[in-house]
Amino acid sequence: MLPTFFTSETASNDVVERSFTVGGVSGLLWTPASPSAGLPLVLVGHSGGTGKRAASVVERARRLVAGGFAVAAIDAPGHGGRPLTETDEREVAAVRRALRASEPAGSIIARYTADVAERAVPEWRATLDALLEQPEFGDGVPVGYFGLDMGTGIGVPLTAAEPRITAAVFGRFRHETLVETAGRITVPVGFLLQWDDEQVDRQSGLALFDAFASREKSLHANAGGHRETPSFEADDVVRFFTRHLHVATAA
């Protein structure tokens, strides 16, 4: 018998996937088939132009669940089949034009993402409210956030606004629209950059890392282009959350 919150459930390779809807926004929760008590929760934000079922989201969920975490993802506004506003349509067209012309799309993406984030942050917070009412999460369950690209553009204002998020991994994003908000974040931060990123200017990415007020923050910059983050970084993200969220559970 499914609790009414979850609308479907599948299981494979020791991972249980359940779908849910909060305020009209559909999401997925992945948990270990045999979860231990006090399971920490990591919210995963997808990149632009994808959705909660993007291969990168599912792959992160698989690794995090294997590491003893629950993982939740929702579709951002205008993503994953959700309707586009006029602004969404105009901005998406502008991004596509720039990419087709091999022109720098970074500042258009940053402007568009800031608009999406204003709508996405309250949706994530409502989702978190609803998830933490489920019986698998006790009081004071540690919560983390992990998102690159647009997932950072949404995750930085979300983490600044949401005191329940106590550790976060961001990256591959410019500083201009986020630097002020990043300066209000004090929780441990992991940050991923690509040293030869053709979309994110190196100094701008470094400036965003610099902006976080966190006492504990770690930058990982790897040689290669925007989409060439090495797969070993995904395992390192699991270790990052193990250090910061599992420790909180034990305390």
Distance between CA atoms of residues 124 and 116, nearest Å: 12
Is 186 a residue that touches a second copy (CB under 8 A)?
no
* C-beta of 118 vs 196, nearer to a second copy: 196
* C-beta of 24 vs 232, nearer to a second copy: 232
Q: At closest approach, how far in Å is the CB of 220 from a second copy?
A: 6
In degrees, rounded to 5, the angle at the alpha carbon of residue 38 between the alpha carbons of residues 35 and 42 is: 80
Residues 146-185, one symbol each (x = binds a second copy by CB under 8 A, - = not), give ----------------------------------------
Is 243 a residue that touches a second copy (CB under 8 A)?
yes
* C-beta of 129 vs 198, nearer to a second copy: 198
Q: How far is CA 16 from CA 1, 25, 55, 104, in A?
A: 15, 20, 17, 40
DSSP E strands: which ranges in 38-164? 41-45, 70-74, 143-147
> Binder to a second copy among 206, 207, 234, 248 (CB under 8 A)?
206
Is 122 a residue that touches a second copy (CB under 8 A)?
no
In the block, tokens 């970084």 appear at 233
Total Cβ atoms within 10 A of residue 251: 7
Is 11 a residue that touches a second copy (CB under 8 A)?
no
Nearest to 28 by CA among 42, 14, 48: 42
Is 145 a residue that touches a second copy (CB under 8 A)?
no
Q: Which residues lie near a second copy (CB under 8 A)?
A: 195, 206, 209-210, 214-223, 230, 232, 236, 239, 243
